[in-house]
Structures are given as structure tokens and as C-alpha cells.
Structure 1
Amino acid sequence: MALFITSLNSGSNGNCYYIGNDQEAVLVDAGISCRETEKRMKRLGLSMQKVKAIFVSHEHSDHIRGIPILAKKYKLPVYITQATMVSGGLQLHLHAQQVVSFSAYTPVEIGALTVTAFPKFHDASEPHSFIITSGGINIGVFTDIGAPCEHVVRHFQQCHAAFLEANYDEQMLEQGRYPYVLKKRIRGGQGHLSNKQALELFTSHRPAFMSHLLLAHLSQENNNPELVEAMFNAHAKGTEIVVASRYAETAVYAVGGVKTVRVVQTALF
């Protein structure tokens, strides 16, 4: 049985990733508005009725700003650590019965989906990445990562498809207009992955069975989608490379079984 994945938005203006089967789905983060989430899912032929939970990676606003209204409207449980909820101010907006805590390496069952969190390097209170599994198919969500630690490497090696951060080009960041403090934060090991770091992770640890790689959280100021796509396509070896947009949803990709694209959207960068 295939898993279906799409990036509904990816970037500092909002992040939201959909992973599901024919019966149920989860969202990892919800950093765009409820209305925009609904519009993009409708364009893709996806139903919010299949979404059974939201999993929160960390408290930065581009990952949580859409959660309160979305969770309330669709009565969704929000899987979040206590430290993340407090740091993000979500304790003021979520009903207690909606909040479900999770722990690293403790699997959570959502119907036929199993979601497992693991820690990552990022400048947040208690940041996590996720692996979503069903029917032997593994999907990884690896964004907002300061460095590819052993947790990330080990899980990346198991993925049939992954959302992987490629946030910045090192030269563009160095020569760009960001202040030094922000540049230091981005590349300082608790910020974001560069194109070079992401490519090294891909070329060194990509499993032979990885069918799709969605490159995520590209910087508007310090990256170029065409540059990233060309870099990774040169080493793809059969993996379909997709650059997730900060302005539009990607297509829905079927992972496992027959390799197909469910819906094709024109990505706007």
C-alpha cells in the first residue's frame, strides 16, 4: 500500500507537510493558515477529513501559526512536547483534551500509520524530526536541522522518501545582506542545513530504494531553487528530486507500489 506525500508549503513563511494512506493522514507542522491549508489540499484532491492528527516539530511561528484554528475546526489532536507548547504559546490556544505529549523513539499509532519522533539540532526548546511508517514504507521529515547528527543519518538511511532541508547556499549567505549575528545563527550548528550539507547527506546515506526527495525550507534570500535542483539531480541515481515551494503546494507523490504522481501542480518559487 502506497503512502501519499506533499508539501503544502515550505519556507520561513510557513511549513506544512502531508503524509497519508488511503484511509488516514497526518500533518507535520501547520505553519500556514487554516484557510490556505484547506485551499491547497482541495486543489490536490485531498480531504481534511482524512487528517487525524498534527505533529509539531518545534515552536517557531512558521511551523505552528495555523495550528489553533485548524485543530479546533477539525477536532484534531496535536502531538507536541510540553516545552514546545509553552515556548510557542500554544497552551493559551489549545484545549487540554486536544494536546497529546510524545517522546523521542516512542511510536505513536494513527490508524495504520506509525509516527516516531527523534531529536535534532535546532535552536528551539525541544525540537524533533519524524519518521512516518505504514506497510513497510518509511517517510522522513528532516527540516530545521543545524547539522546532520547520528539520529538524522540513521533514519535517512531507512527512507523510501524524505523531506530534506536545503536552506542556503553558503556563498549567497556569506555575501548576502543578513547581519552577521543572523548568518552565525543559520550556519552555527543549531540553525539550518546548507545545500552542501544536505547534498553530502544524500550522496553518502541515500538508500538505493529512495524514490522521492523533496528539498525543503529553501531560503528566499540565500538560495536558488534552480541551483538546488541541478545540484541534486546530478547525483539523483533514480531518485526523483522535487524542490518544495514557499508559495505553493507540490504535487502529491505516491511512494511504494507503482511510482506515480497523483496530481501535478506548477511550483512557484
Structure 2
Amino acid sequence: MSLSIASLNSGSNGNCYYIGNEHEAVLIDAGISCRETERRMARLKLSMDMVKAIFISHEHTDHVRGVAILAKKYQLPVFITRQTLQRTGLSPERLQLRPLNAYQPVSIGELSVLAFPKRHDAVDPHSFVISCRGATVGVFTDIGQPCDHLTRHFQQCHAVFLEANYDEQMLEQGRYPFFLKQRIRGGDGHLSNQQALTLFRDYRPASMSHVLLSHLSKDNNCPQLVLEQFAPHQQNTTVVVASRFEETEVYTINPNLPIGLQLREPALLTAV
């Protein structure tokens, strides 16, 4: 069974990632409004009826801004760690909140969602791996630095949303104050282009068909720059930038097909 993936938005202005099969889907984070989530899903011919749960990576506003209204409107369970919940202010009385624990897989139909800890300046941040019948997709953003958890799971993925937040030279020469530059590059902030590229170059499995470069900084990065850095190393892997302004295409992840034959998802699902 294949997985369909798309970024609905990726950046400090909001993050939301769609992963699903033919029957059900999940959203990783809900950092854009309910209305904008619906609009972007509709443009992709993806139905909100397919979405069965929302998983929250951490409490920062660009990852939780839209979750309350979206989850309430569609009666979606929200999987979130206890510590993260305490920081978000989400109401257990108004929402279907579910516990999220590291290395305890959650089954959503035929999807299996596994969370694991990551380095970031949040109270209890987690990355995610979503699997279904042999297809595996990772959501690896908002990471201060690669760790053993990340490299181990990265090597198991057929596709990833991989953070490439900043270019080191652009950050150093940019307008941000020194304390903010240190937060970004200090080990609990974000991955640089070079860190992301090193992870990709050293640990990319031969079966990885797609990399969606994610959470690019508006001020400290450039889509064309990071694509040029990845180009000499991508081989048969499709590398695209997930925009901070609009949704990506829907990509089909099918580990049973040769990488070169994996195409854009056909528009078979009913729009909202």
C-alpha cells in the first residue's frame, strides 16, 4: 500500500503535514488556521473526512495555532504529550485529547504513528515516523542537531519532511540579533542546510524516493540555494522545497515501485 504525503504549509508562519493511505490520514501539527487547512486540502483534492487524528510535535504557536478549531469542528483526536499539553492551554473538556508517548506506536486504521524525542527548545518535543504496509515517512523538523534517534529512523524512511532552516552564512551576516542567532544554531534550535545535507548524504537509504525540505527561514535561507546544495547528491531521490506560502503537490510513496516511476498522486479523492 502506498502513502500520499503533502505539506500544507511549512515555516515559522505555520506548519502542517498530511500523510495518508486510501482510507485514512493524519495531520502532523496544525499550525495554520482551520479555514486555510480546508482550502489547501480542497485544492489538493484531499478530503478532511480522510483525516482521523492530529499529532502535535511541540507547543510552539506555528505548530498548534489551528488545532483547537480544526479538532473540534471535525471531532478529531489530538495526540499530545502531557508536558506539551500543559504549555498549549488546550482544553481537555473541549477536545478529544489522547496521550502521546515516545516509542509507543499509535494505530490510526492501517497507519502506525511512532513518536521519538528530538533536540529543540520546547518542553517535550518529538519527531514522527508514519508507516503503513512497508511504506515509511518521517517528519523531521524543528531539530537543534541530529542525534542517534534521528539517524536511525532516517535510514528506515522512503520519504521525509526534513528541516533545512538556515544557511549558515546568511544567518551570520543577517539582521537577527546575536541572541537569536545563537538560539537558532545553538543545538536546540533548527537544522542548517549543511546539517540537513550531511544527514541526507551520509544516511540516505537507497529506497528514499522523496525529500521535502521543510521549515526554511524567510530571512536566512533561499529555496534555490538549498536545492543547489542538494542537487549533486540527490541521485534518484526527488528533492523539493516545502513552501511557507502554499501547499506542495501530493506525492505518492510506494516502496514497491522503482524510485524513478513514483509519480504525483492521481486526483482520486473527493475534495471538501
Smaller-chain TM-score bracket: over 0.9
Aligned to 1:90: 90
Q: CA deviation at 1:234?
A: 1.4
Match of 1:18 in 2: 18
Give the superposition deviation at 1:82.
Answer: 1.1
Q: Distance in 2 between matches of 1:97 and 1:145?
A: 28
Distance in 1 between the 2:77 and 2:181 partners?
A: 36
Percent sequence identity over matched residues? Answer: 64
Spell out, residue by residue over 1:234-269, the C-alpha distance to the aligned partner (whole angstroms, 9 max, x if none): 1101000010000000000000144111269xxxxx
Matches within 5 A, 1:170-249: 170-249=168-247
* Superposed displacement of residue 97, structure 1: 5.7
Distance 1:142 1:69 in 2: 25
Matching residue of 2:29: 29
Q: 1:251, 1:263 within 8 Å by CA — same for their partners in 2?
A: no
Q: How many residues align?
A: 262
Match of 1:127 among 103, 112, 125: 125
Specify the alignment match of 2:47 in structure 1: 47
Residue deviations 1:164-195, cap 9 Å, x none?
00000000000000000000000000000000
* Maintained 8 Å contact 1:5/1:20: yes
Deviation at 1:102, TM superposition (A): 1.3
- Aligned residue for 1:260, secondary structure, equals coil
Conservation of the 8 A alpha-carbon contact between 1:44 and 1:263: no
In the alignment, the residues of structure 1 paired with residue 56 and residue 231 of structure 2 have an alpha-carbon distance, to the nearest angstrom, of 30
Deviation at 1:96, TM superposition (A): 6.0
Matched with 1:261 is 264
Residue 121 of structure 1 aligns with an amino acid whose one-letter code is R
Residue-by-residue CA offset, 1:20-48 (whole Å, 9 max, x unaligned): 00000000000000000000000001000
Residue type of the alignment partner of 1:60: H
Amino acid at match of 1:215: L
TM superposition shift of 1:124: 0.2
Query: What SS does structure 2 have at the residue aligned with 1:31?
Result: coil
Question: Which stretches of structure 1, 4 residues or longer, exceed 4 Å deviation after superposition?
Answer: none
TM-score, scaled relative to structure 2: 0.94
Moved more, 240-249 or 80-89: 80-89
- How far apart, CA to CA, are the structure 2 residues paired with 1:203 and 1:156? 11
Considering only aligned residues, what root-mean-square deviation do their CA atoms show, in Å?
1.1
**Preserved CA contact (<8 Å) 1:147 1:193:** yes
Scaled by the length of structure 1, what TM-score is found? 0.96
Gaps (5+ residues) in structure 2?
Answer: 268-272
Q: Match for 2:99: what amino acid?
A: S
Secondary structure of the 1:83 match is helix
Q: Structure 1: which 5+ runs fail to align?
A: 265-269
Q: How does 1:30-179 map to 2 (within 5 A)?
A: 30-91=30-91, 94-95=92-93, 98-179=96-177
Q: Contact (CA 8 Å) 1:161, 1:210: kept in 2 or not?
A: yes
Give yes or no for contact 1:168–1:195 (8 Å, CA) kept in 2: yes
